[in-house]
């Protein structure tokens, strides 16, 4: 640049600065007058007053859902960074109860996988008991032996109080969404099942001692406890029983056989929010996706299912803003193609989509498929007795191995 050009540039710059000084004295060129600024984030009247109509047409105000800013991630991100809320809560486990809910499909029935996660966490951070269980336990558990009596007579769970399930057939579903945190509820009402106004549940823990009972039920239900026995009276809804402790980690096993996991938005938001907050829920584990694989070979269908699961994650984030969420993807699964056992074609695709969804929604993701060894690994697991002959489910030994791996993966994220 030539000398005269430099001088011209300096002169023009000084003239502009001088004009700004006289137009905006005392430096107010950088100041935003508060009287002219509107903070639209505080204008929540429309959201706060939006009503939800119950069956009786009563208006129940719903609190505005919190806006959770998303963290930008990429394919190299260790998703355990999104367990920070859970990790922070562990510091309080010595003085208060920290609850972990494990929702899943048939892969976690019998308390499989969950019991290993529970054992590892309780061994390190304290806590006792197996947590929540339904009043009528229709699927046997490895950790609690349950017996049901109505008016003093032994009865099979199927003959007990009528059950409603959010993941069951339409005949078992409710219109009001009142299923409780386990997605199923027992109705103690003698107009539905004769004699169900008086129930005795005997729940004997198998190597998992507890400190006390908790009964989740309507206020119209009354109960007494004695040892492993809880006796309930009255008419109303019983959402579950829980054997637990006042401090430490409580891990609840909540299996939903045959479920895709696209059910949480059918559960009453107020109930869930209240439970998650009152019970200090700090980790929600979701283990779904496997039930979509056998009947779907269209990538578009799998994408739609993952989209539905994303909506469930967002709903639970709103219901439990203080909790971390971990999604466990499906394991390797086998089918016969051209006369040979092979991995279902959509397993790797779903695993990929679920991890992408998890990172975008800022939740942790554990890939059972990759951890097992990827495509074809289920055959190797079968050979050593870790997977069943159906090529889909783990054996109990396999479930123990998988549950321990998830627990260690979680805790290693704190290092």
Looking at 244, 265, 286, the residue that finishes a domain is: 244
Q: Do the domain assignments include residue 194?
A: yes
Question: Strand 153-155's sheet: what is its strand order?
Answer: 153-155, 144-150, 198-205, 229-233, 222-226
Number of domains, the chain: 3
Q: Do the domain assignments include residue 310?
A: yes
Q: Does residue 353 register a pLDDT over 90?
A: yes
How far CA 415 is from CA of 80, 124, 402, 410, 412, in Å, comes to 11, 15, 21, 10, 6
Token digits of residue 232: 């309930």
402 shares a domain with 280: yes
Looking at 209, 244, 279, the residue that finishes a domain is: 244
Rounded Cα–Cα distance for residues 196 and 115 (Å): 31
Q: State the first-to-last Cα distance of the chain, in angstroms, to the nearest integer.
A: 57
103 shares a domain with 6: no
Q: Do the domain assignments include residue 256?
A: yes
Q: Does residue 52 register a pLDDT over 70?
A: no
284 shares a domain with 190: no
Is residue 47 very low, low, confident or very high in pLDDT (cuts 50, 70, 90)?
very low
Rounded Cα–Cα distance for residues 323 and 272 (Å): 12
374 shares a domain with 233: no
Q: Does residue 48 register a pLDDT over 80?
A: no
List CB contacts of 324: < 8 A, sequence separation 6 or more.
82, 83, 84, 85, 86, 87, 282, 283, 284, 363, 364
Radius of gyration of the chain (CA): 27
Indicate the pTM of the whole model: 0.83
231 shares a domain with 298: no
Q: Do the domain assignments include residue 394?
A: yes
133 shares a domain with 234: yes
Rounded Cα–Cα distance for residues 5 and 308 (Å): 64
Looking at 193, 219, 244, the residue that finishes a domain is: 244
79 shares a domain with 170: no
Token digits of residue 360: 């975008």
Beta partners for 271?
none
Q: Do the domain assignments include residue 159?
A: yes
Beta strand spans in 89-211 (E) = 97-104, 131-133, 144-150, 153-155, 162-165, 184-188, 198-205
Domain of 159 in residue numbering reads as 129-244
List CB contacts of 360: < 8 A, sequence separation 6 or more.
70, 73, 310
407 shares a domain with 266: yes
Per-residue model confidence (pLDDT) at position 195: 77
Q: Do the domain assignments include residue 263?
A: yes
Over the stretch 289-341, which tens digit does the pLDDT of each residue have? 999 999 988 999 999 999 999 999 999 999 999 999 999 999 999 999 888 99
Over the stretch 126-138, which tens digit does the pLDDT of each residue have? 999 999 999 988 8
Please give the average per-residue pLDDT across 92-105, as a whole number.
97
Q: Does residue 277 register a pLDDT over 80?
A: yes
Rounded Cα–Cα distance for residues 24 and 366 (Å): 57
222 shares a domain with 97: no
281 shares a domain with 316: yes
Q: Do the domain assignments include residue 61?
A: no
Supply the CATH number for residue 309's domain.
3.40.50.1110
List CB contacts of 55: < 8 A, sequence separation 6 or more.
175, 176
Q: Which of 11-15, 29-33, 356-360, 391-395 has the lowest mean pLDDT?
A: 29-33
Q: Do the domain assignments include residue 217?
A: yes
Instruction: Provide the mean pLDDT of the chain.
Output: 85
How far CA 377 is from CA of 336, 343, 382, 414, in Å, comes to 15, 8, 9, 29
Rounded Cα–Cα distance for residues 380 and 269 (Å): 43
312 shares a domain with 202: no
370 shares a domain with 281: yes
Name which of 217, 240, 282 is nearest 144 in CA terms.
Answer: 240
Is residue 196 very low, low, confident or very high in pLDDT (cuts 50, 70, 90)?
confident
């Amino acid at each position: 640049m030539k000398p005269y050009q430099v001088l011209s540039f300096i002169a023009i710059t000084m003239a502009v600065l001088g004009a700004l000084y006289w137009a905006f004295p005392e430096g107010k060129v950088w100041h935003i007058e508060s009287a002219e600024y509107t903070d639209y984030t505080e204008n929540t009247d429309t959201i706060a007053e939006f009503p939800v109509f119950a069956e009786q047409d009563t208006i129940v105000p719903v609190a505005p859902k919190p806006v959770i800013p998303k963290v930008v991630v990429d394919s190299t991100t260790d998703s355990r960074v999104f367990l920070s809320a859970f990790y922070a809560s562990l510091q309080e486990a010595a003085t208060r109860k920290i609850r972990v809910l494990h929702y899943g499909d048939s892969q976690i029935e019998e308390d499989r996988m969950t019991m290993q996660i529970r054992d590892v966490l309780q061994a390190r951070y304290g806590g006792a008991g197996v947590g929540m269980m339904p009043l009528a336990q229709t699927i046997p558990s490895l950790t609690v032996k349950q017996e049901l009596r109505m008016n003093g007579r032994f009865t099979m769970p199927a003959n007990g109080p009528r059950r409603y399930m959010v993941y069951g057939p339409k005949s078992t579903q409710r219109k009001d969404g009142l299923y409780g945190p386990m997605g199923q509820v027992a109705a103690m009402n003698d107009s539905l099942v004769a004699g169900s106004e008086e129930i005795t549940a005997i729940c004997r823990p198998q190597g998992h001692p507890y400190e006390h009972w908790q009964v989740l039920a309507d206020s119209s239900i009354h109960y007494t406890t004695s040892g492993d026995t809880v006796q309930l009276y009255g008419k109303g809804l019983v959402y579950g029983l829980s054997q637990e402790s006042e401090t430490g980690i409580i891990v609840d096993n909540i299996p939903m056989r045959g479920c895709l996991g696209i059910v949480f938005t059918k559960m009453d938001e107020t109930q869930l929010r209240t439970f998650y907050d009152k019970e200090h829920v700090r980790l929600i584990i979701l283990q779904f996706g496997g039930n979509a694989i056998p009947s779907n070979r269209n990538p578009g269908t799998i994408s739609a299912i993952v989209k539905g699961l994303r909506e469930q994650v967002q709903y639970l984030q709103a219901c439990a803003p203080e909790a971390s969420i971990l999604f466990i993807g499906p394991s390797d699964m086998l089918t016969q193609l051209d006369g040979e056992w092979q991995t279902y074609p959509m397993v790797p695709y779903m695993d990929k989509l679920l991890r992408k969804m998890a990172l975008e929604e800022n939740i942790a993701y554990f890939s059972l498929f990759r951890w097992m060894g990827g495509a074809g690994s289920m055959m190797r697991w079968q050979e050593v007795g870790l997977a069943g002959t159906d090529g889909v489910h783990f054996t109990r030994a396999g479930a123990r191995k998988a549950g321990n791996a998830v627990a260690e993966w979680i805790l290693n994220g704190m290092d």
